[in-house]
Each structure stands twice: as C-alpha cells, then as structure tokens.
Amino acid sequence: MTLVFNNRRRSRSRFTPTRLVIGALFALFAFITYQCSTEFNPVTGEKQQIAMTASEEIAIGLQAAPEMAQQHGGLSPDKRAQALVDEVGHRIVDNTAAAETPWQFDFHLLADDDLVNAFALPGGQIFITEALYDRFETEGELAGVLGHEVGHVVARHASERLAKQKLTNGLTGGVLIASGGGASEAQIAQMVGQLINLRYGREDELQSDMLGVRFMAEAGYDPRALLRVMEILESSSGGSQTPGWYRTHPNYSNRVARIELAISEVFPDGIPGDLRR
C-alpha cells in the first residue's frame, strides 16, 4: 500500500514550477519562431509560414534528387518518354506563373514500373514513375500530373510543412518538459502532431489539384484530363477503405469535386474545344 501511494505522489509531482516555466518558454519560443517565418506567396496569393529560404529549398532538392531516383530504380532508359516529360513539364512552367518564380524545374521519369506515383522535391525537382506514366492515354493526363506537382513546388508546401512540423515539435516538446516526459504523454503528443500534419497534407493536395487545373489551362491543356488521372490513382490504390479523414491524401471523390469546381471557375463559359487533350 505504501509503495503504491508513494509512486502516485511521485507521478503527480512531475509538474514542478520549474518544469512548467521551462516548458512554457520552450513552447512560446516555437510559436514566436513560427509566426516570424511568414512570407507572402505571389502565386497562391496567400501568406504562409515557411522554414527555408528559396536558395535552401533549391539546394535541398538538388541534393536529394539522386537518392530519390536511386530508391526508384534510377532514371528511365526510355529517352523518348523522358523527352515528352521534359517537353510537357516545361510547357507548363513556361506558360504559367511558375516561370516568374526562382525555382529550378527539372522533370525526371523514374524506372520504377511497380509503384504508381509522382512527387516533387522542394525547389523544383519533379519525378514520375514509369508505372504511372505507362497508364496515361493522352498527353493531357501527363500534363495534369506535372501541373499538380509544379503546384506543390510553387506553393512551397515542403517548406510550409516543415515549419508546421517544427511548431508541432516545439509545442509538444514544451508539454513533455513540463510533465516530466512520461511515455504515455509522448505517445499522445506524437499522435496529436501526426493528426495535425495529416490535415495540412490533405489541404496541400487539394490546393495543388486546383493549381494544376489553372496551370493546365494556361498551358493550353484541357484540365478535364486531370479527372482521368484521378480514376487512374483510384484504381491503383487497391480500393482502400481507410477513412478519408485519416489519409495523407484526400479521398478521390473529394478531389474530383474540387477539380470540377476549379474547372468551372477557370472556364465559367465552358471549356474551349481547341485545347490539348
């Protein structure tokens, strides 16, 4: 009885005034640092908190690109396909607001013929796997994917997510310092941080879809091709039943609805018939 009572007393005493002050200062520093990292993004028209300068984003992307390619079997040996990826990617960049940004865009076709995927590193390094590329039926579908990834770069989602992660770590770290850092508190804090950042990840994807529609239209592509891309991604997902609120990406029906809305906003009088498909 005595041992149990003493253990409880020790557990309750972890919240000491010193720990509370240090924890509060730790969390306050993280919050102030986050608020002071605000920049205006002329492409999205939004203020955002970012964790890297433009030159740092470019440098990190260039440094990470070879390793990312290696993880996916290296670059594709299909020179014709790579040339088309370059052509379509740079057409999107050259005809949109992306051309007025400092990002150094390079487009890479990966030899991975198993994983259906495309992704962008900060600074402009964009990748698409052969497994996804081979499922395309039109040039417009390729443009839809590349426009979406260009959207991630110009919206600075990587730097924004890093800033949010630093804030999350700082706030949860302050709680752990104040509480004495028990295992249960660490697990709860980690879960809260993951849920917060999953939400931002889904918002990033939706914003990139909308930017992709805009960039496709400005580059002369029919943005309805992006709807076909959604069908490809859905069929390749294996029919996952994971609830939409707990996915890194939004569920496909939500994305389709947002894409259709974006198309109607770009072309309120109907889609012209002379666009590339």
Domain annotation covers residue 128: yes
The pLDDT value given to residue 238:
61
Domain annotation covers residue 125: yes
Which pLDDT band, with edges at 50, 70 and 90, does 108 fall under?
A: very high
Q: CA-CA distance, 151 to 148, in Å (whole number)?
A: 5
**What is the pairing mode between strands 118-120 and 46-49?**
unpaired
- Strand (E) positions, the chain? 38-41, 46-49, 106-110, 118-120, 125-129
pTM assigned to the model: 0.78
The pLDDT value given to residue 49:
82
* pLDDT above 70: percentage of residues in the chain: 70
User: Containing domain of residue 38, as a range?
Assistant: 16-266
Rounded to 10 deg, the angle between the 139-154 and 79-94 helix axes is 60
Which of 189 and 153 is assigned the larger pLDDT? 153
Domain annotation covers residue 6: no
Domain annotation covers residue 188: yes
The 10s digit of each residue's pLDDT in 150-182 is: 999 999 998 888 777 766 665 565 555 555 654
Domain annotation covers residue 218: yes
In whole angstroms, what separates CA 30 from the centre of its chain? 22
The 10s digit of each residue's pLDDT in 191-204 is: 445 544 445 478 89
| Range with lowest mean pLDDT among 53-67, 93-107, 236-250 | 236-250
Domain annotation covers residue 10: no
Q: How many domains does the chain have?
A: 1
Domain annotation covers residue 274: no
Mean pLDDT of 136-145: 98
| Range with lowest mean pLDDT among 49-58, 104-113, 238-247 | 238-247
Domain annotation covers residue 271: no
